Structure 1
Amino acid sequence: MNNIFLITKREFLTQVKKKSFIILTLLAPLMIIAFGAVIGMMFKANESHISIQVVDNSGIFNNQLKSDDKIQYEFIPSAEEQSKLRTLKSNENLDGILILPALASNNFDDLEKNTRLVVNTKIGFDTKQRIVSDITNVIKKEKIKQLGIKETQLNDLDKNFSLKTINVSENNKEDSDLAHGIKSGLSMILMYVTFMFIIIYGVRVMRSVLEEKNNRVVEIIISSVKPFELMMGKILGVTMVALTQFIVWISMSVIGALILNTSFNSVQTNIPGGNDTPLSKLDVPQIATQISHGLLELNFPLIIFVFIVYFLLGYIFYSSVYAAIGSAVDNETETQQFTLFAILPLTLGMYGSFSILNNPDGPVGFWMSIIPFTSPVAMIARIPFGVPAWEIALSIALLLGTTVFMIFLAGKIYRVGILMYGNKATLKEIWKWIKN
């Protein structure tokens, strides 16, 4: 046991003392935020801003097509249509001319068939759909007007129905659309982080084992410690490195949410309708405070506890597999035939968990969060939505038992494989190592 502790300590200190680890741990959250901001700026910079002149021969679109920051409509007389078309190609201040034909006998089908948009540049698909939507809304209003329905009645017909959901299993707490969106977003983030870190740090263990094996350093180490102690020391050492990063990142996230939440009350008083206001009507600071407030309303102690437990058990489980693979082969090329055994169950758990977002308590979500091969990802995806305590206890018990069994199997493979050179390991040969 003392040897395992010494090896764990060595692996941990070797990693955390590196400048790259310290910089990455502190800057990674800021880099992610900056990356998201850059992506948002790229979308913003690539938005189209076009100027359209409208020739309305029907007489129903004038003052009905409203300009905004993306599309600028300018109505011109029908007599200028031909001259504008002739100079359109060389006109750098104009992107297109929308020609709306005369409306004969209220035949809107003919109007649609003969409407043309002549452009001198390529316009985006979303811009074209926006123009189509603007025209459709005007035609819809005109048709309803002909039916004798007033605009106020039309607005009343188009009014969305807001359904409040009260969850009696959560102390009659109201589950709003914003809350569901926050839970779904948090679920996807936790799920993806767990998936990526198990693979990244698992591969790190495998490469570390493979490097020591190829350098014959392991022959010296094995003379002082047992192979099982060496394997567990490596796994636990890298586990502590990953856990250290998570603790720092979780702390930074909670502190950031608390700072944003301090301004929530003051921001909320300036929002008509408070929490019921759609996000589309809020600016960026208001959205950030709404989201941070929603996050802090979740059961964060339970979420963090479950996240850490499942990450640790899942990581130890799959790292044992990776350590066994590293000891059984002589180079990274040969690892490809075995790493699928670790990657496929995790991938199944991650992509299968997307269905959990729509139905967290469904049969797929339940069984994937119970089966140990997929539970490290699936249970973390479910936990923001709330999971019964007995399901969490059962899942942890099964995962813990399977992890101990996997460590036992990996230890038997590691004991023989770490000192094998020149022989290409096969599944049949590995099976013999396990049985002996």
Structure 2
Amino acid sequence: MNNIFLITKREFLTQVKKKSFIILTLLAPLMIIAFGAVIGFMFKANESHNIIEVVDNSGLFRGQLKSDEKINYVFIPAVEELSKVKNLKGNENLDGILILPALSGNDLDNIEKGSRLVVNTKIGFDTKQQIISDITNVIKKEKIKQLGIQQAQLENLDKSFTLKTINVSEDNKEDSDLAFGIKSAMSMILMYVTFMFILIYGVRVMRSVLEEKNNRVVEIIISSVKPFELMMGKILGVTLVALTQFIVWITMSVAGALILNTGFSSLQKNIPGGNEELMSKLDIGQMATQISHSLLEMNFPLIIFVFIIFFLLGYMFYSSVYAAIGSAVDNETETQQFTLFAILPLTLGMYGSISVINNPDGPVGFWMSIIPFTSPVAMVARIPFGVPAWQIALSIALLAGTTFFMIFLAGKIYRVGILMYGNKATMKEIWKWIRS
């Protein structure tokens, strides 16, 4: 036991003393936010602004086709249609001409069948769909007028309906759409972070074992410690490194939520009620306040506890698999045929958990959060929505039992494989190592 502690301590201190670890731990949340901002900027930068001239032969669309930040509608006289179409090619100041046919009585179907869009350049699919949508809305309004329905009646028909949801299992707390969105986002983040860290740090254990095996350093090490102690020390050491990063990030996230909650709330209280212009500028701040309120209303102690427990057990389970793989092969190329056994269950758990968000208490969500191979990612995906205590306890018990059993099997493979050189291990040989 003392040897395991010493190896764990060495692995942990070796990792956390690196400047890269400190920088990454502190800057990772900011890097994630910056990455999201860059993605958003890329989508924004790729948006096009199209100038579309409109020839309205029906006289129905003038004043009803509204320009926006994506499309600028410019109405031109019908007599200019032929010359405009003829000179459209090569005109850098114009993207297309929308030609709307004349009405034949009250037959609006003629507009739907005879409308044409002549373009000077390739336009995006979303731009074309927006033009179709804009025309459809005008035609829809005209059809409603022909039916004798007034605009006020139409607005009353289109009035949105808000259904309040009271959850009796959560002390009659009201579930808003914003709260559901935040829970979904947190579910995706926890699930993805668990998946990525188990994968990244598990591979790190495998490479560490493989490197020591190829450098023959392990022959010196196991002269003073048992192979099983060496394997457990590596797994626990890297586990504590990942756990340290999580604690720092969780602390930063909670602190950020508290700052947003108190900062924006106090700022809004000091704003005069009649200053509408200033209040409109704080829409983002109000949204941030609502988000922080919803975050703080969650059962964070339970979420953090479940997240840490399932990450630790899941990481130890898959790290033992990776350690066994590293000890059974001689180079990284050979690892490809074995790592599939570790990657597939994790991937299944991650993608399967996407459906869990729509129905957290459904059969898929239940069984994936109970089966040990997928529960490390599936349970953390369900926990923001609330999970019965007995399901959490059962899942932890099954995962813990499976983890210790896997460590036992990996120890047997590690004990023989760590000293095997030049021989490509087969499944038959690995089975013999386990039975020995």
Task: Tell me the TM-score normalised to structure 1 length.
Answer: 0.94
Aligned to 1:213: 213
Amino acid at match of 1:327: S
Aligned 8 A contact 1:267 1:286 in 2 = no
Amino acid at match of 1:103: L
Aligned to 1:277: none
Aligned to 1:391: 391
Task: Tell me the TM-score normalised to structure 2 length.
Answer: 0.94
Amino acid at match of 1:124: G
User: How much has 1:359 moved relative to structure 2?
Assistant: 0.6
1:33-432 to structure 2, matched below 5 A, reads 33-265=33-265, 283-432=283-432
1:14-33 to structure 2, matched below 5 A, reads 14-33=14-33
Query: Over aligned residues, Cα RMSD in angstroms?
Result: 1.7
User: How much has 1:283 moved relative to structure 2?
Assistant: 4.9
Using the alignment, how far apart are the partners of 1:324 and 1:75 within structure 2? Answer: 72
Mean Cα displacement is larger for which, 171-180 or 77-86? 77-86
Identity, % of aligned positions: 85
Using the alignment, how far apart are the partners of 1:417 and 1:218 within structure 2? Answer: 11
Q: Unpaired segments of 5 or more residues in structure 2?
A: 274-280
User: How much has 1:266 moved relative to structure 2?
Assistant: 5.7
Aligned to 1:278: none
User: How much has 1:131 moved relative to structure 2?
Assistant: 1.0
Using the alignment, how far apart are the partners of 2:34 and 2:377 within structure 1? Answer: 26
Aligned 8 A contact 1:12 1:241 in 2 = yes
Mean Cα displacement is larger for which, 77-86 or 18-27? 77-86
Q: Summarize deviations over 1:51-104 as a string: whole Å, max 9, x none.
A: 222111111111111112221112222122223223323433222221111010
Using the alignment, how far apart are the partners of 2:39 and 2:189 within structure 1? Answer: 17
Amino acid at match of 1:22: I
User: How much has 1:268 moved relative to structure 2?
Assistant: 7.3
Using the alignment, how far apart are the partners of 2:128 and 2:287 within structure 1? Answer: 29
Question: Secondary structure of 2:59's partner?
Answer: coil
Q: Unpaired segments of 5 or more residues in structure 1?
A: 273-280
Aligned to 1:9: 9
Aligned 8 A contact 2:54 2:73 in 1 = yes
Using the alignment, how far apart are the partners of 1:327 and 1:42 within structure 2? Answer: 44
Amino acid at match of 2:193: V
Q: Summarize deviations over 1:253-273 as a string: whole Å, max 9, x none.
A: 111122222244368789x9x
User: How much has 1:295 moved relative to structure 2?
Assistant: 1.6
Using the alignment, how far apart are the partners of 1:66 and 1:285 within structure 2? Answer: 30
Aligned 8 A contact 1:264 1:290 in 2 = no
Amino acid at match of 2:184: S
User: How much has 1:243 moved relative to structure 2?
Assistant: 0.6
Aligned 8 A contact 1:85 1:97 in 2 = yes
Aligned 8 A contact 2:409 2:434 in 1 = yes
Q: How many residues are treated as equivalent by the alignment? A: 427
User: How much has 1:239 moved relative to structure 2?
Assistant: 0.4
User: How much has 1:351 moved relative to structure 2?
Assistant: 1.1
User: How much has 1:107 moved relative to structure 2?
Assistant: 2.0
Using the alignment, how far apart are the partners of 1:263 and 1:57 within structure 2? Answer: 56
Amino acid at match of 2:31: M
Aligned 8 A contact 1:187 1:380 in 2 = yes
Q: Indicate how the Cα distance of structure 1 residues 159 and 376 shifts in structure 2: closer, same or farther if over 3 A, else same.
A: same
Question: Secondary structure of 2:184's partner?
Answer: helix
